[in-house]
Amino acid sequence: MDRCRPQLPTDHAFLVQFRTQSPGLPVAWEGRVEHVDLGQVTPFLALEERLAFVRHVLAGVRRPSGSPETRSMTGFESASGAVATTEL
């Protein structure tokens, strides 16, 4: 690993997966987003829902650098009304 490049904190890392779409259909931004450290996952039907989940998780994990504390969430309600719960 290049020592000149700073490491990115995993408590701010997300995996975003988009659904496969058939050619010729209008673009649909559906998929799922997962917080890498906590393993929290929620589906989304629109980009706004994905962003809302990311903001919600980041608000719960903000802590001083190096702190061992993590916060758990019991659920997240997306704009479509879907509730995704997670186990830590």
* Residue 48: domain span: 10-19+26-84
Most confident of 2-16, 48-62, 64-78: 48-62
CA atoms within 13 A on the CB side of 57: 26
| Residue 57: partners with Cβ closer than 8 Å, 6 or more residues away | 14, 35, 38, 40, 73, 76
Bigger pLDDT: 79 or 35? 35
pLDDT tens digit sequence for 24-70: 988 888 999 999 999 999 999 999 999 999 999 999 876 555 544 33
Q: Does 42 fall in a domain?
A: yes
Nearest alpha carbon to residue 84 among 47, 57, 60, 48: 57
**Tell me, what DSSP letter sits at residue 47?**
H
Q: Does 34 fall in a domain?
A: yes
Q: Does 5 fall in a domain?
A: no
Q: Does 4 fall in a domain?
A: no
Tokens, residue 53? 């989940």
- pLDDT for 57 equals 93
Q: How many domains does the chain have?
A: 1
